[in-house]
Structure 1
């Protein structure tokens, strides 16, 4: 096994929180670890997870390169940080031949989604280069020192971001691996002395073999289940058994007491703590006071008040996410008041209730928000958050994947019923082949049948933009929802460059 030193000292080591920036230059790390420096090449480096790995590896003094099928603002940022990125996947990326793009490679990192017969993988194997799954990298980071792994079907990115932000605000110096851009770090990764806080994605089945010090378990549903994709589970029972294995292998679990069934998945935990509104939860949010901008509440630990808190994003789900962050920070000895203040100022990671601007870039115009919500539970939570603002709610929803739509279109339709006006776009295929009979109109048809008078199937983007510009008023809110490219519409509506 090659060396991958943690970005924090081992448990019990001394040291004050670092005053270095979130993603410092790797110069000092490289100087102290020159003997251990390796060349890592990451396939799919433009992805939100792989790019975070690239930044963490680079900060540890390793040489990092990568490739992706398309270039983006994120790959341009990596290039500016000294990480070489190439367009397309080719065998020459990892060879030492003169025509090789990056020179000799020590470790090739690939996700489970990369076909096993891919030429780049085969070239690495033929050359004796280690091929390491991305989850193996995460496993080493989680096991190397104090660590927090956030698991669950929903809310992982927001909860992971909140934990890192709360810890930083509380005087700790967390390292972080996040599936979204955190504004406070201007990045999806943070280098610090620890603990290491990581989003652990159940779409990669290898996650079940990982472990950490503190597992934060938000919920468990049936997403990423069915079909023949490499990143999907065959059954929900297998996926939930994976959650249970992760929990059992960790030192303790902090589980959401408000989500039915989580306790049964945590019976193998060495130590179990809970958070939520439920009676009997170890960490409780009480006296909730929602308003148009967010929710204020009080936090107690086993009946003892810890203090006042606030989350600056609407929706009950964000109260629970913030409570989890405050609970973790409390477990690691952070100052509660400072953690609460940091969370009150937090406005969310990219594409998680992200305020883009106002319609047409005009002050006082309809508020434009973008959200990654793509399954029924997330959609319902985003609609509830929009309703909390007290505004007239417009939703532009882009269904994601034919299989997911086939599995859940009735639930998606029901989740959208509380919005005042709903535009449903065509399904974002995400490389899936169409499924006969599965179409966005299944959602609109069910909504119309259930009495919704403001739902329309609207595949033409120009028509969506024109209608909203003509009809959405100053007291309204427009929320673009989906895991595809619907986010681009929110930028066009607000006059923000994409």
Structure 2
């Protein structure tokens, strides 16, 4: 995807390595009892269907009995999977795509002058923004919407996995491939669990039965991106509107400022490590592969839990999932067991393989808070932490390069790639070396700017040992390096 934004957060997502990523598995994940089956099937056409979000919409709509087609700038593994599942995908964009279409679904970022949009209006085809479609799905039954700047994909995945483990039959809309489903979508009797992306400003017009609010920072703010927010205050007001339009909010008590944004909810519940949280994680016992902990509800123990992903942030994500399962009447023990076996969605602390005995991990972390959390998770393994970091977008780098540098300081070694432009024009004076120079000035002796990827591969292949953990990190195409290092097919 180049000039047409999609519901995918920043870059094409690779198929899960070692997970059931075939189209047969993906189709099977959405063949449960549809929660909103319509008596009159419609023909939906999705622009940017190769994006991680739009492809999930396509699968959900098809499972509900609709005829679904789509288009994207280029073919990919994901579009080929969709075609194998019976969804027609055209390469490129053309006005003829809307012939015999009932509903055209497009991102708010698609200009109204786009030929397919113009042809749809002229033909009387209903044009529906992707957030309008998500609202319909959320309000069709018990809806759980996951909002926040960080952790949405992992938390949404964990909630769906925990609900399923507890014997419920959730539907899910996720911004990543969930290995337990082999897909980014699942259809069941309910509840419906959805990742709600704040990079689309229209999310603020939505609401649901239970809003899960992980945190609030300043990502997706500023610049000329069509769906970005002008100020962080405006974005946070959007979070507050979503919460206020929801019946109940479950928010992280550990994150400063969330309480003030949640005043409009009819019912407010909290989760975290903080004293007084309704759902608390206590007695954390970290080890190289994850963390075991005790879950309290109103001060009383619900039981023991474990998350098989390192980092305190993943404890909080798992706690949110167990809290939602409890709220919807699911059994704690089987839900906790399912989470203990959960290996994470695609590109979220994804174990790719090994290089000379070194563990190779790929992670989507691309802003300072996510980077710091990923580095902390790597440190928990007890190995030497070697990070390959690719800054993402010139604007984001301009806004946050000092924080990115500080977030990387705890890594033993950092190999720094050039900025992934993601269709942005370069900004004068903004370069990846801003990060490496700040780190060096602060005394880091293991940071190296290596724009040539062959140099990165050579350096790591020559020096990796069994005591290392290598983490490829960023929202661009840095994930390809993790596969090359571990000898896994792209």
Does 2:272 correspond to 1:265?
A: no
Runs of 5+ in structure 2 lacking a partner? 1-24
- 1:318 equivalent in structure 2: 314
CA distance in 1, matches of 2:204, 2:333: 35
CA distance in 2, matches of 1:285, 1:168: 21
Query: How many angstroms does 1:33 deviate by?
Result: 5.9
SS of the residue corresponding to residue 167 of structure 2 reads coil
Provide closer, same or farther for how the CA distance between residues 113 and 307 of structure 1 changes in structure 2, counting only shifts above 3 A: same
Provide closer, same or farther for how the CA distance between residues 473 and 329 of structure 1 changes in structure 2, counting only shifts above 3 A: same
Q: 1:213-254, CA deviations, whole angstroms, 9 ceiling, x for partnerless residues?
A: 000000000000001111200000000000000000000000
Contact 2:29 2:182 in 1 (8 A): no
Query: How many angstroms does 1:35 deviate by?
Result: 4.3
Query: How many angstroms does 1:92 deviate by?
Result: 1.1
Within the candidate set 76, 81, 86, 1:82 is matched to: 86
Within the candidate set 423, 434, 442, 1:431 is matched to: 423
Query: How many angstroms does 1:70 deviate by?
Result: 1.4
Provide closer, same or farther for how the CA distance between residues 27 and 167 of structure 1 changes in structure 2, counting only shifts above 3 A: closer
Query: How many angstroms does 1:90 deviate by?
Result: 1.0
Query: How many angstroms does 1:89 deviate by?
Result: 1.1
Does 2:471 correspond to 1:479?
A: yes
Query: How many angstroms does 1:343 deviate by?
Result: 0.2
- 1:64 equivalent in structure 2: 68
SS of the residue corresponding to residue 97 of structure 2 reads helix
CA distance in 2, matches of 1:392, 1:107: 52
- 1:496 equivalent in structure 2: 488
SS of the residue corresponding to residue 42 of structure 1 reads strand
Provide closer, same or farther for how the CA distance between residues 297 and 425 of structure 1 changes in structure 2, counting only shifts above 3 A: same
Within the candidate set 114, 117, 123, 1:118 is matched to: 114
Q: 1:429-455, CA deviations, whole angstroms, 9 ceiling, x for partnerless residues?
A: 000000000000000000000000000
Q: 1:297-317, CA deviations, whole angstroms, 9 ceiling, x for partnerless residues?
A: 000001110000000000000
Query: How many angstroms does 1:472 deviate by?
Result: 1.5
CA distance in 2, matches of 1:25, 1:217: 26
- 1:185 equivalent in structure 2: 181
**Structural RMSD (CA):** 1.5
CA distance in 2, matches of 1:249, 1:434: 39
- 2:298 equivalent in structure 1: 302
Within the candidate set 141, 148, 160, 2:144 is matched to: 148
Provide closer, same or farther for how the CA distance between residues 22 and 497 of structure 1 changes in structure 2, counting only shifts above 3 A: closer
CA distance in 1, matches of 2:29, 2:487: 34
Alignment of 1:95-494 (within 5 A): 95=99, 104-359=100-355, 365-494=357-486
SS of the residue corresponding to residue 220 of structure 2 reads coil
Contact 2:30 2:60 in 1 (8 A): no
Contact 1:151 1:217 in 2 (8 A): yes
Contact 2:162 2:339 in 1 (8 A): yes
Contact 1:24 1:59 in 2 (8 A): no
Query: How many angstroms does 1:112 deviate by?
Result: 1.1
| Structure of higher CA gyration radius | 1
Contact 2:38 2:64 in 1 (8 A): no
Provide closer, same or farther for how the CA distance between residues 396 and 27 of structure 1 changes in structure 2, counting only shifts above 3 A: closer
- 1:18 equivalent in structure 2: none
Query: How many angstroms does 1:185 deviate by?
Result: 0.1
CA distance in 2, matches of 1:245, 1:85: 36
Provide closer, same or farther for how the CA distance between residues 305 and 353 of structure 1 changes in structure 2, counting only shifts above 3 A: same
Q: Which runs of 4+ in 1 moved over 4 A?
A: 21-30, 32-35
Q: 1:148-186, CA deviations, whole angstroms, 9 ceiling, x for partnerless residues?
A: 000000000000000000000000000000000000000
Within the candidate set 42, 48, 55, 2:46 is matched to: 42
- 1:51 equivalent in structure 2: 55
TM-score (norm 1): 0.92
Query: How many angstroms does 1:71 deviate by?
Result: 1.2
Provide closer, same or farther for how the CA distance between residues 25 and 473 of structure 1 changes in structure 2, counting only shifts above 3 A: closer
Query: How many angstroms does 1:23 deviate by?
Result: 4.3
Q: 1:103-153, CA deviations, whole angstroms, 9 ceiling, x for partnerless residues?
A: x11100000121221111111111111110000000011111101000000
CA distance in 2, matches of 1:287, 1:29: 40
TM-score (norm 2): 0.93
CA distance in 2, matches of 1:382, 1:124: 44
Structure ranking higher on relative contact order (CA contacts 8 Å, 6+ apart): 2
Query: How many angstroms does 1:475 deviate by?
Result: 1.0
CA distance in 2, matches of 1:68, 1:202: 23
